[in-house]
Structure formats: C-alpha cells, structure tokens
Amino acid sequence: MKIIQKHIIFIITFFSLIINFLHAEENIEFNLGENIEEKIISKLDITIDSSGSNLPDGAGSPKEGKIIFNNKCVSCHLEKDFYNKADNPIKNEFNSIPINLNWTFPKTLFDYIRKTMPYEKPQSLTDDETYALTSYLLFKNNKLKFEDILNKKELIKISMIKKDTFLTKWNDEKNNILNTSKYNNKFFNYVSQFFNSDEKKIQWYNDKVDKNYLNQKILAEDISISPIDINLPKGEGNAIIGEKIYQGKCLSCHGTEGKAEELSVEVESIRGNQNTFRIIAFESLAGGLGSLSSEMPIKSVGSFWPHASTLFDYIRRAMPYFEPQSLTNDEAYAVTAYVLFINNVINKDDVINAKTLQNVNMPNKAGFIDSWGPDWWREWLHQKYGIIFTIILLTTIIIIILFAQKLTQNLSNISLIKLFLTTIIFLWFGIYQSLQIGTQKLYQTYNSLKLNNGIWENILFEPIYILLGVFIIISTLIWGRGIFCGWICPFGTIQDLLFKVSKKIKLNKLEIPKYIHNKLIYLKYIILGLIIISTLYTTGHNIFIEFEPFNTVIVKKFNTSIIYLLWALTILTFVFFIERGFCRYLCPSGAALSIIGRFQVINWLSNIKSCGSESCAACSPNCPTKAIKKDGTINTKECIQCLSCQIVFNDKNIKCINKQSKSSIRINKGTKKIIRTT
C-alpha cells in the first residue's frame, strides 16, 4: 500500500511541476520563455493601431498634398479615377489605377500611404508628406477643406462611416446565407437562432495551424514555374495569336516588337504624365544578341535569359502591368511564343505548350555557369562543419561496435564512453538540430515528395537528416536496429535519463509479467500498421502521426497544443516507471527498424550461456527491453544493443562460479565475493 501511495504522490508532483513551469496562452499553446524576436519585430513595426495612439508627429494640408500627388502618384493614379464605394464603378471606365476614397478609418488610409507609397519607392515619404497626401484624399472625399491642416489630433477626430457598417453588412450576409436553404423548417431555424443567440467573436488570431500543413497549402497554391519545368500547366499558343494579345495588352509599355522606345504623347497621357519630355519605360524584350560582352550590353529575353520556362512564368504571374494574372494559360503561352519569335528563337507558327516549351534552347543558356552547384549543395557547403561533426559521431559509434568485445572487458571504461557519447549525440541531434527521425519525419518527407512530383531537391536541403537517415538504413541492415535505438535516438536517451532519476529517488520500477510482456511487444507493430494505413487513406491532418511524442518533446520543445503536450507527459510518466517502456511496446519507428533488421547481415552479439539455475537472477543481465530469453539467447528484433549483456559476458574483472560455462554469476578475483550484475 505504501508503494502505491508513493507512486501516486510522485505522479501528482511531477505533473504539477511541469504545468507550473510552462506558461499557457489561452489553453492553446505553451511557450517556454519569452520570444526575443517578437520584441525586435515590434520595434520595427510602423503599423498604426486602431486607436491611432502611435500616429507620428507631423502636419500637412490638401494644398501641399496635391503637389505631392502630381509629382509622385499621378503616373499610376489619375484624379478623374477617384471614386466613392457607393458609386459602383465600372472597371472599363478607368484609364489608371482607381482610388476608392471611402475608407473605413482615415487612420488606415494614412497607414497605407505611409507603408506602401509611392509604388516605386515605398516608405520614402516623410511624416509631413504622408499627412499632406492623406489630407488631399480626404479633401477629395469632402472630409476636409482645401486650407485645413491635418495632424495627429485632427486625423483621430475625422469619422468616415459608422464603425459597425462592415460588421452589420457581414451579419446580414451571413444570416442570408444561413437562412437560404432548399428545405426551410421554422422549427430548426428557431432552434439554431436560440443556440447562436450568444455567438462569441471568433478569435482567429489565436488559432494555431501546423507549420507543415501551411507549407503544404502554400506549395499546392504556388503557381511559379521553375527552370526544370516541373509544373507547367495545360494550354498552348503560337506567335500569331500572341502578337494580337501583345498589341492589345503589352505594346504600351514594351514598344513595337519588344524594342525599347520613347513612349508616345498618347501613351504618356494614359499613364498620367502630362510633362513634355518622354521616357523609356522598360528595357528591350528583343535584340541585343551578342552584346553582353560589349560596353553597352542589352539584356533582352533573347540575349540574356537562360530558360524559356521562366519567361512563361513571369508573363503568367506579373503581366500585364495593370492586370497581373489576368491572362489565361493559352494567352500566356501565346505571348511567350511571340516574345520568343521576335528574338528569332522559334518560328511564327510553332506551337508552344508544356511539352514544346521544355525543348526550347535559349541562345544564352550556356552563358550561366553555377560554380556553386545546385541550391541544395550550397546548403551542404554552408553546414560543412556540422556535417563533419555528424560524420565523426557516427564513425565513433561504428568503432565502438567493431571493438565492443574488447571495450566491454572493463565495466567502468565502457560505461564512461557510452555516457559521454550518448550525451554528445543527444545535445547535437536532439537539442541543437531538433532532429528526431521517426514516423513523423518520414511522413513529412513523403508529403514533400508527393507535392514535388517525386523530386528530392527540397529534402536535400537538410544534410544532417540525409546523412543520419542513410546511416540508420545501412547500419540496420548490417548490425540491426540497436545502433539507432540504443545510441542515437534522442527520445531513447530521455527514457534512460528518466528511469535513472526514478532509481535515484528510490521509486520501485514496475515489472510487466513475462507472459504479458511477450504479447505486448507486438503492439508496436499494430500501431505501425495503423499509421501506414492512415497515411495512405487519410486526407488533411493525420492525427495518428502524432502518436510518437517526438515532435512535441524534441522538435517543438513542448511548445505545442495542450492535447499533444498531455500525451507526451503521459508517455514520459509511463517510461518513468517502466524502463524503455515506449521502446518495448509502443514505438512504431522501432517496429519498422525491427522489420528491416530481419535482413541483418552480422549478428555480432555474444549470447550468455545460462547455467540453468532458475533461482539465481544474476543469469539474466539487466536488459532494458527484456530482449534476453530464458536460455540466454538474444532476441535481435527487440535488442537495442546497450551492451549490458556483453559487459557481463566479457568483463575480465569478474569470474563465473561455474567454470564450465560463462554465466552471469561471477566472483571477484581479489575479494572472492559474489557480484550480481544489474
């Protein structure tokens, strides 16, 4: 009874200490310490808050603002294209980028101008110029007189529209959507309104989304085309069609046949420039072949660009200037074909599509030489010292395994070596690199390959992960799963540490009966099967992947949602009382390595030949995973190669009572005392 009370008191104390040391933010995320980066960002953030309390000092009038507008803004915005939201303007009536004067709050207008204008040089306006330009737009909306002075105090006073206008519109639209149904039942409508009467505001900014999920969404919506043409869309076009599109949407900026020229007075008027001088808006798209080595190089598509696919990508994403991404895929292919045609790269009737674009050879393709190699190789060079250190650690493990028989002849020496090496490995992989190879990491790799059509380039940006993964596969095929599980796995080191702490404070460990243990060891294989099935057939976030607490403990350092945190604490409590309990019964990664280990080439462990006496516990060394059978043979599928049994077998400082067989009952040569190894 006292033992049970002792365990209960420890569990309560353990959870209390953990929860008290962790700081929770609205029961969503636990943060360990204060984030210094947030302080730095807050100092650099010039955003104006809703109350306007951090508006800068300064002043300006509409008169001054008009001068600034004509000098810095009229190239993109014409005064006749100002409108009020209530006017419902027609898009085709504009000759420039229109400006909606009916802003919700004048402070947000000031904030937008201050942060993003003018287009060519954002954040180049002084505070006085920003106030002047804001006052001019407010004057055009009849909120100020032409002679008025606008400053911080006056800007806060100005009211554009009622505060709840947008919320009211949203609520009306939401109610219309909710009430619009093919089947309209008054009873259910009444019940729905009753339970939603006290609807709370959605705290969207507190919702935490998994980083990997966000990366997957970004990759899925990314329309950029790389030079290797992985994801070119369907569609086609030729230069004949492209010429017509070019003349209608591109000629005003890029000139006839893509050659830079002085813009006509008519074009200058459209762009809002009423001055008499003329300018060249953009560089040439065509010509300049062979001019790159001259004193006046012309960097056109034909003379400079190395890949045709990036030309298509740029046209598709950024053109035309006033309406980017408005071209269809067919139109983008057609304009690409026309630009290639005026550079004498293809014929006018050649069809350009996803297949033919990859076969286009640009004149300057050989002019680009990447002396550094691919991008992922640069990351390897950047992490060269980390790679060297990783190789040294892994090589040291191999040396210990190769000379294990000699090293295990001295208990104290091998214990110090293992303690030192596993500590360094834990600090390097677990703490510094935050790297724990398991089902979660493999799932991320699987998703990355699937999203990138099987291309390994993104995965190669993690050299330590690649080296460690290759090492684990090769070492498992040669020596079995134990090298990773017993020497490298950071979570395994944590389990060993927790169990040693429990022994120090003299908590009795829990022993699973042998007949139950022999059944439970297959549980991890069932868990592995469920994870594989869920990976193949589950869409969205796969909750089964979070079974291993590696992501919570090693990668995120307990900075995650409370449900994952509680699960990790449960596992840690479990291994506190059962040595390597997670490795024995629950670890799906260990199960996978055990399956690979069935092809093990070298079985290098020496089996302990039992003397047959069941009354003597010394015949069974202290195996953390109970991998030693009753007859002394070792179950390699469960062995983590901790070397405990090898120490018992090879240590020359202890001698077996039974001189005919090497059992684990040994007599010290000097004291003649029986030593029971544990």
392-421: per-residue pLDDT in tens?
Answer: 999 999 999 988 888 888 888 888 999 999
Q: In terms of C-beta density within 10 A (0-12 exposed, 13-18 middle, 19 or more buried), how is residue 200 classed?
A: exposed
**Looking at residue 70, what is its pLDDT?**
80
* Least confidently predicted of 214-223, 235-244, 404-413: 214-223
- Strand pairing category for 236-237 and 352-353: antiparallel
Mean of pLDDT over the chain: 75
How many Cβ atoms are within 10 Å of 58's Cβ, its own excluded?
16
DSSP letters along 204-248, please?
GGG----HHHHHHHHHHH-----TT-TTPPS-EE-HHHHHHHHHH
Angle between helices 308-318 and 329-342 (to 10 degrees): 130
**Looking at residue 144, what is its pLDDT?**
82
* Least confidently predicted of 35-44, 359-368, 588-597: 35-44
Residue 43 predicted with pLDDT over 70: no
**Looking at residue 523, what is its pLDDT?**
93
DSSP state of 349: T
**Looking at residue 386, what is its pLDDT?**
93
* Least confidently predicted of 164-178, 219-233, 575-589, 635-649: 164-178
* Least confidently predicted of 3-7, 149-153, 239-243, 406-410: 3-7
* Least confidently predicted of 30-39, 343-352, 527-536, 598-607: 30-39
Residue 656 predicted with pLDDT over 90: no
Under the banding of pLDDT at 50, 70 and 90, the label for residue 12 is low
**Looking at residue 472, what is its pLDDT?**
94
**Looking at residue 13, what is its pLDDT?**
65
**Looking at residue 454, what is its pLDDT?**
73
**Looking at residue 420, what is its pLDDT?**
93
pTM over 0.95: no
The span from the CA of 261 to the CA of 277, in Å, is: 13
| Fold agreement between 59-157 and 236-367 | yes
Q: What percent of the chain has pLDDT over 70?
A: 69
**Looking at residue 470, what is its pLDDT?**
94
Under the banding of pLDDT at 50, 70 and 90, the label for residue 427 is very high
Q: Decide if 319 contacts 254 (C-beta within 8 A).
A: no
Under the banding of pLDDT at 50, 70 and 90, the label for residue 660 is very low
Q: Decide if 100 contacts 85 (C-beta within 8 A).
A: yes
Looking at per-residue confidence, does 253 or 571 come out higher? 571
**Looking at residue 268, what is its pLDDT?**
44
- Strand pairing category for 59-60 and 150-151: antiparallel
Residue 318 predicted with pLDDT over 70: yes
Residue 474 predicted with pLDDT over 90: yes
348-361: per-residue pLDDT in tens?
Answer: 888 888 888 888 88
**Assigned architecture for domain 59-157:** Orthogonal Bundle (1.10)
Most confident of 62-76, 109-123, 381-395: 381-395
* Least confidently predicted of 83-87, 141-145, 455-459: 83-87
Exposure class string for 507-531: b at 16+ Cβ within 10 A, else e:
beeeebeeeeeeeebeebbebbeeb
177-201: per-residue pLDDT in tens?
Answer: 445 444 445 554 555 555 454 444 4
User: 78: which residues sit within 8 A by CB, 6+ positions away?
Assistant: 95, 96, 272
**Looking at residue 260, what is its pLDDT?**
64
Looking at per-residue confidence, does 9 or 395 come out higher? 395
Under the banding of pLDDT at 50, 70 and 90, the label for residue 387 is very high
**Looking at residue 385, what is its pLDDT?**
93
Most confident of 190-204, 318-332, 475-489: 475-489
Segment 297-324 mean pLDDT: 84
Residue 19 predicted with pLDDT over 60: no
Under the banding of pLDDT at 50, 70 and 90, the label for residue 206 is very low
**Looking at residue 606, what is its pLDDT?**
75
Looking at per-residue confidence, does 124 or 431 come out higher? 431
**Looking at residue 25, what is its pLDDT?**
38
Segment 119-136 mean pLDDT: 85
Residue 271 predicted with pLDDT over 70: no
- Give the sign of the dihedral formed by CA 608, CA 611, CA 617, CA 618: negative
Q: What percent of the chain has pLDDT over 90?
A: 17
CATH class assigned to 236-367: mainly alpha
Q: Decide if 565 contacts 587 (C-beta within 8 A).
A: no
- Domain parsing of the chain, residue ranges: 2-41, 59-157, 236-367, 377-599, 606-678
76-117: per-residue pLDDT in tens?
Answer: 777 666 666 555 555 555 565 667 666 767 778 888 888 888
Whether the bond into 324 is cis, omega within 30 of 0: no
Angstrom CA distances, 132 to 59, 65, 127, 211, 649, stand at: 7, 4, 9, 42, 88
User: 558: which residues sit within 8 A by CB, 6+ positions away?
Assistant: 22, 30, 32, 552, 565, 568
Q: Give the start-end residues of each E strand in 446-557.
A: none
- Strand pairing category for 236-237 and 29-31: unpaired
The span from the CA of 437 to the CA of 489, in Å, is: 8
**Looking at residue 678, what is its pLDDT?**
37
- Give the sign of the dihedral formed by CA 472, CA 473, CA 475, CA 477: positive
